[in-house]
A and B are shown apart, each in its own frame.
Chain A
Amino acid sequence: MTISLGEPMDALQTLLNDAPERIDRAMTIAELDALENDLVGRTSPIASARRMLGQIKDGAERGATGKRINDIATQIQAMIDARRSDVETAEESERLVNDAVDVTLPGRRPRRGTHHLIQSTIDEIVDIFVGLGYTVATGPEAETEFYNFTALNIPRTHPSRAESDTLYLDYGDEEDEILLRTHTSPMQARYMEQHDPPTYVVVPGRVFRADAIDATHSPVFSQLEGLAVDEGITLGDLKGTLASFAKQFFGSDTQVKFIPHYFPFTEPSAEMHAYTDGRWIELLGCGMVNPAVFEHVGYDPERYTGFAFGMGMERMAMVRHGIADLRTLLDADRRVLEQYR
């Protein structure tokens, strides 16, 4: 006997017809889950109809009916899925609305300190000279009188050796007293003693003078020394190098001028001035290495020439960053240090 699924199929058709409205009424995923169970779940009319399919003996009819059931199931499932997606989106939106915060509250900052301005000034200037093929050396801050003065052609009677200018240490022998270096220049002699030319080196470091603290003086400050010795080094090289440095450090439109000066360890000597903020300011001292210094370190002054320069890091930083008072740079106040970026 052939049985048809007329009645159950009618019920499925009704299910399909009613499905859109029922599905649209589901406002939450939970409701939708329950509805899905009712419509296409194991106890749904669709499942019942599928179970009864086997009773249809006629293969063609069974196939057609089966396909019909699947069609309906697929359509309903598609409607549920679509609704599910909508409900999920709506639910997520609502969740996110509830999750909103005041983004203007302070952020969680990973901690970061700062390099001291003098340090970053040194680093930057060192990098400029490294770019020009120089290397870097450092030397002792407690230095001998010989390296600080004598090797630099500074006569025994020179006023800078006096205790009013130089800080001496209670250490070592009387013959060659130990002092706090008054400039980074002693490393000129030390470096040349240990290295043969060509010599291209910068020496950053701390130096000391018997000066009371005021807006422009400090007993402790930092210098950077430069030395270039080779065959054929000229005053033109000195000028070109330092002009290039000034443009790199202060800006490409920086004008500089060199005016003659005097230092015992260079000849000719000069001061480099730069034009900034509408005026010329003195930046550094420089000159061609005095042959007497070469003689002290065993370089042949007939064969080699060289230039040297020394600049105050505090001055460089103050000029560039608009700091009027040197004492600012001695301040460990966080409000000052935070500005050193």
Chain B
Amino acid sequence: MKLTRSWIDDFVSVPTDDPIELLEAFESLGHEIEAWHPIKAAFRGVVVGKVLEVAPHPDADKVRVTQVDVGSETLEIICGAWNFEAGAVVPVAVPGAVLGEDFEITRREIRGVVSNGMICSEIELGLGDEADGIMVLNDDYPASADAIGDDFAEFMGLPDVFYEVNVTPNRPDCLSVYGLCRDLAALYQIPIRDQNISVDASGEPNDVEVSIEIPELCGRFAGRRVRGITVGPSPHWIRWRLTQAGVRPISNVVDASNYAMIEFGYPTHAFDVDRLGNTISVRLASEGESIVTLDDQERTLTAADLVVTDGSQPVAIGGVMGGASTEVHDGTTDVFIEAAYWDPATILVSSKRLDLRSEASKRFERGADPSFCPKGADRVAQLLTDIAGGIPAPGPVDVNPADVQPWTIAYPLSETERILGVALDAETTTDLLNRMSFTVSGTDPLTVTVPTRRPDVQRPVDLVEEIARLHGFADIPDTVPSGPGGGLPYEEQRLRRIREVMVGAGYYQMMTFSFIGDADLDKLALPEGHVARSGIAVVNPLNETEGVMRTTLLPGMLKAAASALGRGVAESRLFEIGKVFLSSGAKLPDQPDRLGFILAGSVAPTWDAPSSEFTVYDATGTWEVLSTALSIPDASVRQASAPVFHPGRCAEVLIGDVVVGTVGEVHPSVARSFGLDGRVVAGEIDLAELLIDRGPWQYHPPSIFPPAIFDMAFVVDSVVPGASVVGAASVSDLIEKSEIFDVFEGESIGSGKKSIAIRFTLRAMDRTLTDQEVAPIRKQIAEAVAASVGGELRGEL
């Protein structure tokens, strides 16, 4: 809702001139100011003048010489416009006046005659588009006759202030200047001037008859016949105000309708009666019926659209847009002004389906005031009398099957304290509600009568809202209740731990969109039928590359890493925690939380270490750190082969027997398809198993006795996993730790073989181990490794 301060001044005398104070007043009422700015005159030193004489120029025939009374003196001014004669009241830029930024008006000679100023046009003054001729104020501004010599900016109400008010959807009554003024009047406790809608109904009686076939969807249809109209441009004050309100002036008939709508909020429509005939009937459209609307588009209607007909053919889409066939045109003299009340939901659906949302449909879909219909038509008729020579017919047309009346709400006073936390007595409450134009009777509960313009007020809590607004949120004391506790649920704690571990391991958290595209899945080279292939499509995606819900975090991470490397970041260490979306048998898709991580580029060299590349061991190491920090007792890793990953450098990570994720080096061809060269390490782990509450970890006291430490190396087939050798070697509870510290392949071992060296740490809780105890364990280890994985001990036992 766009309006000006001067328009507000038509109806209420707001006790402040400070635009910010008024802005805050609007805000305190719940009307957020979307934008505002001062409207300054684009000129200085222009006064109202009266042309006393007009004479030809002695030496030029394109211009005339005028004598203009500017109050303090009479000036001789040369003027090139011909749209006025003596007696015209006009804006005069006297010498010293400035137009626009810096165009100073001076005395200057034109073919031997000195011109002492300039008579101005709209466009020269920044007051409109009219450039053909000067502004003649007599008709548009009758008060100008008494303002000769006055400053013209002041006369025009400049400077003014523009406001764009964001009216919330529950307040259709505030989609007008008058409606907003009502709220200001209530806030400031000042009177609001009458609407003063009156019609000089001196014309012939009306013979257009109205009938409604669907009273449940068109509850009221009022109208006023106006004859004798001359279609033409509107006076300047209407065009100026409409322009400020963001509406393009068209012609006096259209402008009158728009002006009345912005002023009082009711949308109307004018039919050319010569084209319409004398019958109006309202019904639902039949399926497939068509109409050419005002914008010259042919619209195909459905049985859910409302139409106004001339008895048979549609002449308007009810509440949405008029039809071309009965449109007011330059030769129109006789109009019927419609002000109808339409079912809000029907208008919303209709206007949306037809893509014809307008200022009118917006008001109808939110709920116009059915009580105002006849006044809405009459205000337009009144304007047409003033600006288009219209002569209204007597007697408004008013078909009112719904006959909506104000309704009442029983309001217990205790509701105020229950909801707001502040108790207000009956007198205060009644006063507040009266200010909002609710009538109140009784004491407790109050019987509150709601005007029909407030469809949003139906229940006691709707009145609480009104009371809160006017009482003022600021005057409600702050209190801080405490909840019963509960804290961070276990899963949230675990998620925080996981993130902390990843950050502590050098990874940077990122957040990518939840969308991927089919192309991303192609780049991953997932086989047909792979679960990550069947992503759930977005019905209305923002673009093609974001048309599918992600089934894996990998594309987002690969793209992020590639983008970072492309910008010269040498190494990327990124992780993300987020949901993927998988089809399920249930109503909602499965939306498991996943952890993804990626290492790309290379570890940057430092002065004491050369650059190095990331390998699968960075991935498995990340899992080891993570599972340790989460005290998962039975975490492990096993060799695997999975899509997306390097066939020989891929591992499944497990908790017990459950595979919870895949980590490793990304297949070089997949990496390349995302624009990544070199070894790229990534992993994706399902978090569900990691979030399970396994109870608090339990303390194991360390032994105070010294350990026995020894190394053993075994030659095994190259394909034997190191973890199997270590596993086979776990022969005694006395083994505190056994870790591979060297792996060697070479001719001395034999082809197809490798040597794995393990450092064993043995320790007892209650004694120092002796050689006699350790020696048999070494033997057992050697035998177990030989038996289990064919490992041959290197060197002596």
Contacts and interface: CB of A to CB of B under 8 A. Distances in A.
A95 interface: no
Contact of B541 (A118, A157, A167): A167
B304 to A, nearest CB: 12
B588 A140 contact: yes
Given A144-B587, A220-B514, A259 B27 contact: yes
B547 to A, nearest CB: 10
20 contacts: A111-B573, A132-B480, A132-B483, A134-B486, A141-B514, A142-B536, A157-B348, A159-B352, A167-B541, A170-B539, A178-B588, A235-B473, A236-B420, A237-B481, A260-B30, A261-B168, A262-B168, A267-B464, A268-B420, A334-B569
Contacts of B499: 115, 119
A133 interface: yes
B143 interface: no
Contact of B588 (A142, A163, A206, A259): A142
B30 to A, nearest CB: 3
Contacts of A135: 483, 485-489
B486 A133 contact: yes
A26 to B, nearest CB: 39
Interface string A273-296: 000000000000000101100000
Nearest to B546: A219
Contact of B509 (A111, A116, A134, A173): A116
Interface string B246-288: 0000000000000000000000000000000000000000000
Contacts of A333: 563-564, 567, 569
B488 A106 contact: no
Interface string B167-195: 01111000000000000000000000000
Interface string B481-497: 11111111100100010
Contacts of B589: 142, 169, 171, 178
B578 A206 contact: yes
Size bracket, chain B contacts:
35 or more
A174 to B, nearest CB: 12
B506 A112 contact: yes
Contacts of B352: 159, 162
B476 interface: yes
Interface string B95-118: 000000000000000000000000
B536 A268 contact: no
B349 A235 contact: no
A170 B589 CA distance: 11
B513 interface: yes
A241 B480 contact: yes
Contacts of B564: 332-334
Contact of A337 (B422, B508, B513, B578): B508
Contacts of B505: 111, 113
A271 interface: yes
A271 B503 contact: no
A157 B345 contact: yes
Contacts of A105: 607
Contacts of B32: 259, 261, 271
A305 B460 CA distance: 14
Interface string A299-341: 0000001000000000000000000000001101111011010
A313 B361 CA distance: 35
B572 interface: yes
Interface of B: 27-30, 32, 168-171, 344-345, 348-349, 352, 365, 417-422, 459, 461-462, 464-465, 468-469, 473-474, 476-489, 492, 496, 499, 502-515, 536-542, 546, 549, 560-561, 563-564, 567, 569, 571-575, 578-579, 581, 583, 587-589, 591, 606-608
B481 A260 contact: no
A334 B564 CA distance: 7
A208 interface: yes
Contacts of A168: 538-540
A271 B29 CA distance: 12
B481 A241 contact: yes
Interface residues of A, number: 89
Q: Which 9 A-B pairs have the closest CB atoms?
A: A200-B483, A234-B421, A111-B506, A135-B486, A133-B483, A260-B30, A236-B421, A262-B168, A240-B478
B27 A113 contact: no
A334 B462 contact: no
A236 B513 contact: no
A262 to B, nearest CB: 3
Contacts of A130: 487-488
Q: Is the interface of A mostly helix, strand, loop or mixed?
A: mixed
A142 B535 CA distance: 13
Contacts of B504: 112-113
A54 to B, nearest CB: 46
Contacts of B506: 111-113
B31 to A, nearest CB: 8
A289 to B, nearest CB: 10
A62 interface: no
A201 B583 CA distance: 29
Nearest to A130: B487
Nearest to A204: B492
A167 B509 contact: no
Contacts of A288: 419, 461, 464
A237 to B, nearest CB: 5
A228 B511 contact: no
A244 interface: yes
A132 B510 contact: no
A32 interface: no
A112 B345 CA distance: 57
A288 B509 CA distance: 36
A198 interface: yes
Given A178-B588, A335-B569, A260 B28 contact: yes
Contact of A240 (B461, B480, B567): B480
Contact of B483 (A173, A198, A268): A198
B585 to A, nearest CB: 11
Given A206-B514, A234-B420, A142 B581 contact: yes
A290 B459 CA distance: 11
Contacts of A28: none
A170 B474 CA distance: 46
Contacts of A267: 461-462, 464-465
A125 interface: no
B480 A142 contact: no
Contacts of A86: none
A261 B481 contact: no
A267 B344 CA distance: 21
A271 B507 CA distance: 38
Contacts of B469: 260, 268
Contacts of B488: 126, 130, 135-136
Contacts of A103: none
A143 interface: yes
A322 B473 CA distance: 29
Contacts of A119: 499, 509, 511
B351 to A, nearest CB: 11
Given A133-B486, A269-B465, A334-B508, 10 more contacts: A106-B607, A133-B483, A135-B485, A136-B489, A141-B591, A142-B536, A210-B542, A234-B417, A235-B473, A332-B512
A172 interface: yes
A212 interface: yes
Contacts of A173: 587
Interface in A197-228: 198, 200-201, 206, 208, 210-212, 219-220, 228
Contacts of A141: 514, 579, 581, 591
A36 interface: no
Nearest to B589: A142
B536 A171 contact: yes
A114 interface: yes
B67 to A, nearest CB: 54
Given A268-B464, A291-B461, A113 B542 contact: no
A233 interface: yes
A284 B349 CA distance: 30
A270 interface: yes
